Chains A and B, each alone.
Chain A
Amino acid sequence: MIQLKVNGAGRQFDGDPDMPLLWYLRDVLDMTGTKYGCGMGLCGACTVHLDGAAARSCSTSMKDAAGKSVTTIEGLAAHGDHPVQQAWKSNNVPQCGYCQSGQIMQAVALLKEKPKPTDHDIDEIMQGNICRCGTYQRIRQAIKQAAGVKA
């Protein structure tokens, strides 16, 4: 039996310990805000926080998540008003929006580590998150706005 916390709530899982956290979130808990994009940690659509750090849930098995605290996009802020989410909205970042849960979770982790990121910092930390619609420049703008640094 694997025990973990998801968005603050205690959870127990007795399925295959090799199952990626992504599919547990999506298929078992019905938390579909975390997205599948590649299954290999290549695109970042499945990004969540594991004990506060960004992690690719498609490449994190349930046994690796045991005893840890998981935060998903659904648990980031009670009213969807985390400063990063607010910046996303005020820059009209999303187009199709599919990758944006992962982008937002990654950006929140970035700002935790580098509260005043440079363009280089943003490139470095965000380049694992693919946006096929091509919203990168608005993502960059939104991160800078949330950080209060000059665009």
Chain B
Amino acid sequence: MNTINIVSRRGFLERFVSAGALIIGVPVLQQVSGAAEVDDAPFHPSVYLGLEPDGTVVIIAHRSEMGTGIRSVLPMIAADELDADWKRCKVEQAIGDPKYGDQNTDGSCSITNFHTAFREAGATARMMLENSAALKWSVPASECHVKFHEVLHAPSGRKAGFGELVALGIKQLPPKKEELKFKSPSEYRYIGKDMPIIDLEDLCTGRGKFGIDAKMPGMVYASIERPPVFGGKLVSVDDAEARKMRGVQQTVTLDGLKLPYGFQPLGGVAVIADNTWTAMQARKKLKIEWDLGPNAAYESEAYKKQLLDTARKPGKVVRNAGDVDAEFARASKVHEAAYYVPLLAHAPMEPPAAVAEFKDGKVLAYAAVQDPQAAQDIISKTLGIDKKDVTCHVTLLGGGFGRKSKPDYVAEAALLSKKIGKPVKVTWSREDDLHFDYYHSVAGMYMKATTDAKGRPTAWLQRSVFPSIGNMFAPNADYAAGFEMEMGWINVPYDIANQRAENGPVKNHVRIGWLRSVSNIYHAFAVQSFTDELAAAANRDRVEYMLDLLGEPRKMNMKEDGPHLAKAGDKMDQFPLDTARWRRVIEVAAERSGWANKKSSPGHGFGIASHWSFNTYVAAVVEVEVDQRGQLHIHRVDIAADPGQIINPDRVNAQFEGAAVFGTSLTLMGEITAMDGKIQQSNFHNYPVARMSEAPLKTHVHIVASNEAPAGVGEPGVPVMAPAICNAIFAATGKRIRELPVKKTKLA
């Protein structure tokens, strides 16, 4: 039963292709600005493709699989460019290693940043095989062509399988990047098709191995009691009762964290036992005295008031055009609204879990992580060993949503293993997951506008206040980080002469971290709800009004108007904010939902919202019914999206279908609160997420055909949901929801 060989064979590249295999490494630039040439980089990030003598193509998936299908889809790009038979390709999951480039599977950027590298890997392999065949047959390489896992020489009718050519291929130099020839899209075999993911069979039969399923020989099980308030510390522990339980081996104390908190473990007391359940039960018998630390007075109601009060005061100006103040001074009437979005928890179905062994100064870990390199890093810092001495294997992830790019739980397992000298599995309970998350930030927004006679804004002011993710790395980061402002705040694309965006300061009292679509959630909620409010005040059709505010199709010059997205692409020439594309998704959502013929009536409403995030344009039309009892039913969602070129339409659709449900959860019922510094929610009864009966009955995804560069699909479907649902509720009931979740407002 003890096995470390989870999710097929894993290891360094040298271990999973046999000796004599042809290994092709294509250097790729890490997608950070300033990295001029790969040879100037401190390391050579690469994706790899190998050919076995038996003809098997081995493709490395260096990004984590948490449900997007990425570990199938990126390798498929290489297989297509190589014109390989997908059935004869083997995908191997990479361990954490900088040579693969960025492995942090977040920011909806895997395809954006790596599709070219995988195409190049495939094209390189194809051309080397063609050259090898030319040598073998003494014919010009231009007469040799790969076709479906073979090289053909058309004039003579000769054929050679990939495997036969490996020995010759090894002796060749790979073609230069500029010599690479690529397939034309009409020749694609897999790209653009609804190919099933490689894990489908395993996921339908219970064979898929997640972090929580990983085992190592001699492993013991740990459950950790952590400080109940963020920043608290252990004073003393009486573990006598816990140790009396059959199956309990020992308890271990762990130091509290130091600021900045980053990905450090929270500290506490661990119970080590023969199985998970015993560890969890014995933990309840610990008698612990805590020093609750500096955040013990944190309380959500007072904090909400503070955020909203601060949002009403002038803050730091992050974008400014024209003269908002002069226009407001002239105005006879202004519209104002304040919006609030609470803390949210990720609550992936698989709570954080990891196995690690410290042995001979080195760590071997198996974990559900979005970023194995970050796991290497925090383990090396926590244990005081070299990062190179940490091997982190990536299992399947039972959901991630941003939580699992913070690998504190892997460091817990490694630290415990070092302390007790055995491999340790750490499993977080659901209660742990909700009490000790890196929460999606709570936010308060204040919006103000004045309009002309037609209801079109002549001045537009927006202010937001929220604890920044920057706190993770700098404890005194009281203002938002640049990347948070770039997520739907400084890039509102409306054609309004006088516009100002501001951000106000606030102290932080919990761990904050990114959650699926991050700051876009509260920003889109405020901007798209306020847009609807102004349209309602002017009694104008929402679609017509939105298009009017977007103005003439144009590419926004983001370099002048504000900073650009740091994460998702970082290429302004490739991803200018194009209002023509934005307009198009609104038009498509309207067309496909039948907007023009749908009229809201009491109890039955249609709402629309649109947003741009991760370089993808999205608009959603939501149809709701509010019954006599005030119960809300979401009958239908139409999401139109333009994410540029797409690789696997079925998986793209699935991401938007899922985003509609994820967005529904946070809109209707998601709320984390604190009292006396302690998080009050503990499990799915008091932190509910959408169940089948509460989720949209039917979500129609409409992907706008595009030849633009591929952008993100994992996150961009989320931000439109809250404003679209709330705008639909307004259409059905006349009730304007300005505070999430909706469940706090009586709809009947």
Contact = CB atoms under 8 A, between A and B. Distances in A.
A123 to B, nearest CB: 4
A149 interface: no
Contact of B427 (A15, A36, A85, A138): A36
Interface string A84-126: 0100110011111111110010000000000000010011101
A6 interface: no
A130 B349 contact: yes
B429 to A, nearest CB: 6
Given A26-B276, A42-B685, A135-B654, A89 B692 contact: no
B657 interface: yes
B552 to A, nearest CB: 36
A32 interface: yes
Contact of A96 (B205, B399, B430): B399
Interface in A34-79: 34-40, 42-43, 45, 72-74, 76
Given A98-B349, A127-B692, A132-B347, A33 B658 contact: no
B736 to A, nearest CB: 26
A133 B200 CA distance: 15
Contacts of A140: 692
Given A85-B205, A136-B692, A92 B197 contact: yes
B206 A33 contact: yes
Interface centre among A26, A28, A124, A129 (most CB of B within 10 A): A26
Nearest to A100: B203
Nearest to A135: B658
B210 A98 contact: yes
Interface of B is mostly: loop
B67 interface: yes
B246 to A, nearest CB: 7
A131 B204 contact: no
Interface of A is mostly: loop
Given A27-B277, A133-B399, A97 B203 contact: yes
Contacts of A100: 203-204
A15 B247 CA distance: 9
A98 B65 CA distance: 12
A77 to B, nearest CB: 8
A35 B399 contact: no
A19 interface: yes
A11 to B, nearest CB: 14
A23 B170 CA distance: 50
B655 to A, nearest CB: 8
B685 A88 contact: no
A98 B213 CA distance: 11
On chain A, which size bracket covers the interface?
35 or more
Contacts of A127: 691-694
Contacts of A94: 67, 197, 199-200, 203-204
B430 A123 contact: no
B349 A132 contact: yes
Interface in B198-221: 199-210, 212-213, 215, 221
Contacts of A146: none
Contacts of B68: 95
Given A89-B196, A133-B658, A134-B659, A74 B205 contact: yes
A135 B69 CA distance: 14
Contacts of A132: 347-349, 399, 401, 662, 689
B249 to A, nearest CB: 14
Contacts of A119: 697
Given A39-B430, A130-B691, A135-B658, A97 B396 contact: yes
Contact of B429 (A39, A129, A130): A39
A38 B206 contact: no
A119 B684 CA distance: 24
B681 interface: no
A35 B212 contact: yes
B442 interface: no
Contact of B350 (A35, A72, A123): A35
A19 B196 CA distance: 38
Contacts of B348: 96, 98, 132
Contacts of A43: 349, 430, 684
A16 B684 contact: no
Contacts of B430: 37-40, 43
Interface centre among B197, B347, B689, B691 (most CB of A within 10 A): B691
B661 interface: yes
B417 interface: no
Contacts of A88: 204
B215 A97 contact: no
Contact of B208 (A45, A97, A104): A97
A130 B399 contact: no
B191 to A, nearest CB: 17
Contacts of A4: none
A89 B694 CA distance: 24
Given A35-B349, A74-B206, A138-B657, A19 B277 contact: yes
Given A80-B204, A135-B654, A136-B692, A96 B397 contact: yes
A133 B400 CA distance: 9
Contacts of A89: 196, 200-201, 204
Contacts of B662: 132-134
Nearest to A142: B204
Contact of A80 (B67, B201, B661): B201
B142 to A, nearest CB: 40
Nearest to A42: B684
A137 interface: yes
Given A39-B430, A94-B197, 9 more contacts: A32-B206, A45-B349, A76-B205, A92-B196, A97-B204, A98-B349, A130-B691, A135-B658, A138-B657
Interface of A: 15-16, 19-20, 23, 26-28, 30-40, 42-43, 45, 72-74, 76, 80, 85, 88-89, 92-101, 104, 119, 122-124, 126-140
Interchain residue pairs A-B with the least CB separation, the first 10: A33-B206, A134-B661, A98-B398, A97-B203, A96-B67, A95-B67, A73-B206, A134-B658, A80-B205, A32-B213
